[in-house]
A and B are shown apart, each in its own frame.
Chain A
């Protein structure tokens, strides 16, 4: 009798954990490889926003967002990438995925927050009027920023600091004369929020300082709004990696 049933026992699966560290290292290594080949700010924006969208996907997974919702965003991003024929179009596709992932996280952390629906509806309305990939990118980055703001607030971020980032963003908006400038403004605000988020989640303060001072140093040499966006997205990328690394370390058995 026992002999017959051996085959059954073999079918019992072993639960396989999501290997988060492998995922974020994969994104980082892919980004490093791409960095070698890109030569323009437009291409830089494309690869950093791509990595940031992927990091946001992992963050959504870690935050407990259901895998079906994550897959929907991920497959929509992949499909969008196939049809994108220029760096701005790819960037717009990436910022869309980034905002979508952050919306999922915000809904997971603070499901009844009315601001989520407002940000989502604002984005849908603005999408109708966006006439270029760059404009699309700008409104999607703004939506991403708004969802991130909800996330940082729900995670116990310093409200005063969050308000000050929001106020700077609103003031700068008045002087933004092009989609390039809008992109730069929203990306900068997102980076600042990510800095606060990383502090809340206990990322090593020396590491945060190093990333942020690197950004300030390089900021002096940027000549265009496009270069600024690339710099902010690059910094956001580093912050997101540190946030994820810290979260994973705190939840992984020694």
Chain B
């Protein structure tokens, strides 16, 4: 009895000792947010990947294989089609490579033949380069002279253009001088209780066209003057003008809300302003000869109680700021009384005309198809007008230009003769012949190798490793095409939004242990065989993007492992695995 009991005890001890030890792993998945609140990460898949050896061989390598196989399967059908198509085309290609065949096949020694032609091309290129150098050396003085003459030619052309431009400007300035320009501020009477938005005066400009052309546009200098001070868009650089600006800029009137010198507030009388409509509602462009046009160009602020206002800067500077009174009236008997000098504006000089765009006489055009009538005025080309002047026509610059051009032609002829002495063209023809042969020979190599690879492709369609090895070693255009197909497979084609989803799918394919976190974020793995594992899960939302937990753990006993801010990585798991995968 004792002996039997002893035997049973030994067997039991042996079995118990050999049986794998198991432990349970549990914990909570939660995150502490910026305001201190704790957010349980509920309903996420938590994976426990066993590491039989180490992370690289037990996790990373199978992962790579998993992804690669998935991508291979997706591209397989397309690759097969390309291989079959290439198989059909290759027969015709072989016919084209007949001249390189020996006993009906393209030999493996073709590389040597191609190299002979390529070497010849290189040697001929060296010859050409040397000959060109010699020719350059011999014609050096001529080329130097040519370069000088070309500079001289360019300078003469510029001088001729400048002459036309200057003569044109003389004509334009004469026309501008004929324009009658005046500016004024119309009298205004403001109610005694006028609001801030009504306290402004308009500055009107008036032009009368006494020139010989139509006026298409008038541009004014976007600047005002007060004595020696110029007030323009750079006023903010001068502290005095910054203060003064407060008393001239208005939020209403012609420069409504944009500020007097805003970049968008260009002072001009535009083409649209000047256009008129005739009795047939047709638009006649420009300001006609003898006609006038008036426009409110900008507005100046009307200042309330300027002379009595209690302000240190004003008290110190008021004497140097000329102002003009604006009328004041009481609309109703109960309105406040007008004070003397209640409304004034700063007396500034009016802006000058910067430029005028003139137009030729208006011509009528009729569309032959629609019979629609349009009136057009072509902008005056002052350079062209300058070319019509006697001064331009009689200038000796024209004969100078002709002489220089003749000298250049002679020099170019001389240089050409020197180059021809070296017979470079004949060598160039030889180089081109050899290049053509080298290209055709290399194409034959491509055809030869493609034929081989196509056969391997068709034979290994169900053997990914062999097929990929062929493609990896390929140097042909066919191999490049297959690589492109593989490269075009994206994570979308695999059906995942991010790398974390790929890891989850990988976990399922490997039968890794999986737990789903509870609504409080708790997870648990029971009866986990002791060993090394990767504990993985991820979290994603619109505020924080995607982050993950990826913990390498050794399971030797029951363990509580919380996944929280301390071990959370604020980035995608791919950023962690990238280096390992790309090794």
| Minimal beta-carbon separation of A87 from chain B (angstroms) | 4
Is the pair A8, B486 in contact by a Cβ cutoff of 8 Å? yes
Q: Does B436 contact A (CB under 8 A)?
A: no
Query: For B582, what are the chain A residues with a Cβ–Cβ distance below 8 Å?
Result: 6, 9-10
Query: Which one of B29-37, B43-51, B120-128, B309-317 is at the interface?
Result: B29-37
Partner of B68, one of A5, A14, A15, A43: A5
Is the pair A20, B502 in contact by a Cβ cutoff of 8 Å? no
A184-B34 Cα distance, complex, nearest whole Å: 36
A3-B540 Cα distance, complex, nearest whole Å: 31
The 8 A CB mask of A12-26 against B (1 = contact, 0 = none) is 111111101000000
Summed over the interface, the residue pairs from A and B with CB atoms below 8 Å come to a total of 130
Q: Does A251 contact B (CB under 8 A)?
A: yes
Is the pair A254, B68 in contact by a Cβ cutoff of 8 Å? no
A34-B540 Cα distance, complex, nearest whole Å: 36
Measured CB to CB, the nearest residue on chain A to B572 is A14
Is the pair B544, A250 in contact by a Cβ cutoff of 8 Å? no
Q: Does A210 contact B (CB under 8 A)?
A: no
A222-B498 Cα distance, complex, nearest whole Å: 55
Given the interface pairs A1-B464, A8-B489, A88-B257, the reply to whether A251 lies near B543 with Cβ below 8 Å is yes
A119-B563 Cα distance, complex, nearest whole Å: 47
Query: For B468, what are the chain A residues with a Cβ–Cβ distance below 8 Å?
Result: 1, 4
Is the pair B543, A5 in contact by a Cβ cutoff of 8 Å? no
Is the pair A249, B34 in contact by a Cβ cutoff of 8 Å? yes
Q: Does A253 contact B (CB under 8 A)?
A: yes
Measured CB to CB, the nearest residue on chain B to A202 is B35
Q: Does A164 contact B (CB under 8 A)?
A: no
Given the interface pairs A1-B469, A2-B68, A8-B71, the reply to whether A252 lies near B543 with Cβ below 8 Å is yes
Given the interface pairs A17-B545, A43-B251, the reply to whether A5 lies near B486 with Cβ below 8 Å is yes
Is the pair B465, A14 in contact by a Cβ cutoff of 8 Å? no
Partner of A7, one of B64, B487, B498, B568: B487
Query: For A1, what are the chain B residues with a Cβ–Cβ distance below 8 Å?
Result: 68, 464-465, 468-469, 472
Query: For A2, what are the chain B residues with a Cβ–Cβ distance below 8 Å?
Result: 64-65, 68
| Minimal beta-carbon separation of B79 from chain A (angstroms) | 12
Q: Does A167 contact B (CB under 8 A)?
A: no
Q: Does B387 contact A (CB under 8 A)?
A: no
| Minimal beta-carbon separation of B239 from chain A (angstroms) | 15
A61-B582 Cα distance, complex, nearest whole Å: 36
Is the pair B544, A11 in contact by a Cβ cutoff of 8 Å? no
B: residues with CB less than 8 A from A are 31-37, 64-65, 67-68, 71, 195-196, 246, 249, 251, 256-258, 264, 464-465, 468-469, 471-472, 483, 486-487, 489-491, 497-499, 502, 540-547, 565, 568, 570-572, 574-575, 578, 581-582
| Pairs A–B under 8 Å by Cβ, sample size 15 | A1-B464, A1-B468, A2-B64, A8-B68, A15-B497, A15-B540, A16-B545, A17-B544, A43-B251, A43-B257, A248-B34, A252-B544, A253-B33, A253-B547, A253-B570
What would 9 more interface pairs be, CB under 8 Å, given A88-B257, A253-B33? A4-B468, A12-B499, A13-B491, A14-B572, A17-B545, A40-B251, A42-B251, A248-B543, A250-B34
A: residues with CB less than 8 A from B are 1-18, 20, 39-40, 42-43, 46, 61-62, 64, 85-88, 202, 224, 246, 248-254
